[in-house]
Chain A
């Protein structure tokens, strides 16, 4: 029976949804599931980890692991992978996952695949699917090593409802601190916001919002949708939005399931940052705005009128 180890995605002590998505997929493949959780004061997460769909929980809990550091985190994952004899080690799509996965693969001397969107297991034969050359090609890759470390693309797998595992906690020994790089502090500008790169839905606001009041209005739409909140460059240059919210050529490149472009004309510099989105919804009062050339749904109108209606309708559907 295939054994799959999922690396839990924990942010500020809370288990993120991607962990149960990965575990659900692992169970659907008929694998034996284990999860590894690394952090400080996370022992209480044991039952959450089991409920997310794991049969064994490897937990490395120590004050030294409070801040993310790739070296020690990789050691913990390698330790868990060896103990669980995992055939596949999966990371959810996050900056930390991308940093740790190659280290783990190297230490285990196995293959590593990034941004996979599907996995098929046929006996010993494991194949993964991943997009390549800016989403233009879909690669189907047969894995030649007996084990594989993989980073799963955001939203690739869905969580199955009503799934449970069994609580069987194994404590991991705490690795030595990585002396080559010590993380002293993590500075994050807007801690409670949803990370743009991880978000399933992104709402972005542009010059059409004019000022802070307009931005706040659009931000409420993002909050309603539990969406990441981004911006085109104009509002960042004007000082209304921080630079880490910029979607576009020189900012973040996003590819969510749904992208709302509110008051954004769609200059090519912006399009370069979001045209990989699955569904694009645009609101702009200029019917000639180039954003409508890439939008799947377009609303020609003033965002100050359209956004409140959108919010209302979304509330209705949700209730």
Chain B
């Protein structure tokens, strides 16, 4: 077309883009380090994730709720992917007349298929962009904010599609109406016919302008050519400036996704490191303490709001709106970017063998570059930070695999360890853990009282058993949960399982202490428990609480505790399959199941509880609307069990109402927190007579043949 203009356009477009990206990447590199061993291992699985989640758009298309919006987004994305090849052709055309991309631009079958696909995709993208505008302007889903930015991008997409269709339309008119085939390249293979027989939408576009003269069509062709390419470069440059950056960052973010465990495990902080305390580097208090992966998460957040749409805190009117939370952090990060970069340069000047005076001087200079804002207090409120139940519903729906929860825990670590600013009502529970190994502070010597007369051995009496039964604090001390423990013991004894308990040697795993940021107390509990477990050479553990399960199975290995840990629902299910226990389908009425977050979303145990429930229910299991991966938290996770819930509606009441609305007569749970919260909710709604809340172990024990 015009090589000079094409060169200019590309130099400006790509030059400005590279400049922007340079600073974006420089900022990421100036943020905290990331343990890459957990981010680039298993390349095969990572590539598979990129294909399924990013390119396949699984979390957009595969969600029953909002499937239409998912399809919309996916087709726009796929359309862009398809158009990429066409674009290369157009840029080439800018330099060399009649330039064609190899293979896709030749008149073989692939060439024909490609033009047909491109044509249909352009039509589809146009329809989808139209729907997106309609959805934003008219339907207005509550989770989204309507910004000019979003409309601008949608309009650019519309312009891109229309310009390309009109470009082909004008070409078609010039070739067929004005008999000008020799000036324009098009496929005309005797086997597959003329190219335009394969591109109905371009032909449709052509009919819109076929009343115009040859000159006019020729002009349209030229204008559309440059409009298309200019818009494309403007679009590219616009991406890094706002939430549309995800178009670029989503692929690496999905590639770097945590594997094996659904999000990055909390770091085992080195609490013996005096410098860490002095320099206040434990947890996150200032924006420069984010790791670069967390920075990439913030770049990638598209503010789509799917996270808050499933968030128990947001849905019960707590001041935690995750997309705004991300947006606030991102704004703080970007407004400090120059200082963060300077800071990192200074930090690189600190060497192990450096002079102490010099190091102190550098550290003082670095401290001057800290943001004036404390993240908690100035950027987000305390109530926002502490509202999270760590249920992971947000992470499970996030289409671009942002890891929200570890960041929240790191911020809580900063609050608890450095600022000593955490909800005071936690003190009783934390002190209880410290002194008696349970959050209620009941004498540790009473921990095994529940087992009296049940013929249960302790490891001290006999450690030559197949399994350790990890009872947990609630199962040991709470009268309601003790009934679950005794049911479980009845099942294990019925199946002749060789097991023992730790008795008074067992202590809280430290789960909630860690989730509220008290890493010191967590490590203390973990160390004591691991020492006890390793002394008895424990190999297999049955855990009756998903929080214990998660900590024993996924977090203790960080500190040298490696065991095969299995939840009681998994274990009982095995017993049923092996024929060691037989169940009667004798539970009457509607039976439903509330998935505990730490069983489901954290450990992907969804089927075993259901299999058991189907084996005891006459009618079979009735699912709640929010179940499985999208189960709604009971409200007690992440230490929320030990805090007051004074803002908004109570999460457990909302969940209990959902269960009542399903006309359930029994709701099964498999977590002591859920048991307490759901049962309390039923009492609050005056439904405790109509809806029984029972652990799966109880239902099984009561219905054994």
Contacts and interface: CB of A to CB of B under 8 A. Distances in A.
B204 interface: no
A249 B440 contact: yes
Interface in B475-526: 477-480
**Interface size class of chain A, counting residues whose CB lies under 8 Å from the partner chain:** 20 to 34
Contacts of A269: 440, 676
Contacts, number: 54
Interface stretch (B156-164, B425-433, B532-540): B425-433
B585 interface: no
Given A134-B436, A290-B480, A249 B646 contact: no
Q: Looking at chain B's contact residues, is the secondary structure mostly helix, strand, loop, or mixed?
A: helix
Given A268-B479, A271-B440, A272-B428, 4 more contacts: A134-B436, A249-B428, A251-B425, A290-B479
B63 interface: no
B479 to A, nearest CB: 4
Contacts of A243: 644, 646
A266 B477 CA distance: 12
19 contacts: A134-B435, A134-B441, A134-B443, A136-B443, A237-B650, A237-B684, A249-B425, A249-B429, A249-B440, A250-B425, A250-B642, A250-B643, A266-B479, A268-B440, A268-B474, A268-B479, A268-B480, A290-B480, A293-B479
A112 interface: no
A271 B428 CA distance: 12
B683 interface: yes
Contacts of A136: 443
Closest 3 CB pairs of A and B: A290-B479, A250-B425, A272-B440
B431 to A, nearest CB: 8
Contacts of B127: none
Interface string A220-240: 000000000000001001100
Interface of A: 133-134, 136, 207, 234, 237-238, 243, 249-251, 253, 266-269, 271-273, 275, 290, 293
Contacts of A238: 684
B442 interface: yes
Nearest to B423: A250
A272 B474 CA distance: 13
Contacts of B432: 272
Contacts of B480: 267-268, 290
A130 to B, nearest CB: 16
B360 to A, nearest CB: 29
A207 B683 contact: yes
A272 B433 CA distance: 13
Interface of B: 425, 428-429, 432, 435-436, 439-443, 474, 477-480, 642-644, 646, 650, 676, 680, 683-684
A237 B676 CA distance: 15
Nearest to A253: B428
A273 B432 CA distance: 12
A234 B652 CA distance: 13
A234 B428 contact: no
Nearest to B474: A268
Counting chain B CB atoms within 10 Å of each CB, the highest count among A253, A268, A272 belongs to A268
Contacts of A237: 650, 684
B478 A268 contact: yes
A293 B684 CA distance: 23
A272 B479 contact: no
B428 A133 contact: no
Given A207-B683, A250-B644, A133 B435 contact: yes
Nearest to B477: A268
B630 to A, nearest CB: 27
A134 B477 CA distance: 17
A290 B483 CA distance: 12
Contacts of B684: 234, 237-238
B642 A249 contact: yes
A89 to B, nearest CB: 28
A234 B683 contact: yes
A237 B652 CA distance: 12
Nearest to A249: B428
A275 B439 CA distance: 14
A134 B435 CA distance: 8
Contacts of A250: 425, 428, 642-644
A310 B64 CA distance: 59
Contacts of B642: 249-250
A272 B646 contact: no
Contacts of B683: 207, 234
A286 to B, nearest CB: 11
A238 B643 CA distance: 17
B215 to A, nearest CB: 78
B644 A272 contact: no
A266 B479 CA distance: 9
B684 to A, nearest CB: 7
Contacts of B436: 134
Contacts of A273: 428
Contacts of B644: 243, 250
Contacts of B474: 268
A216 B425 CA distance: 27
Contact of A275 (B435, B442, B479): B442
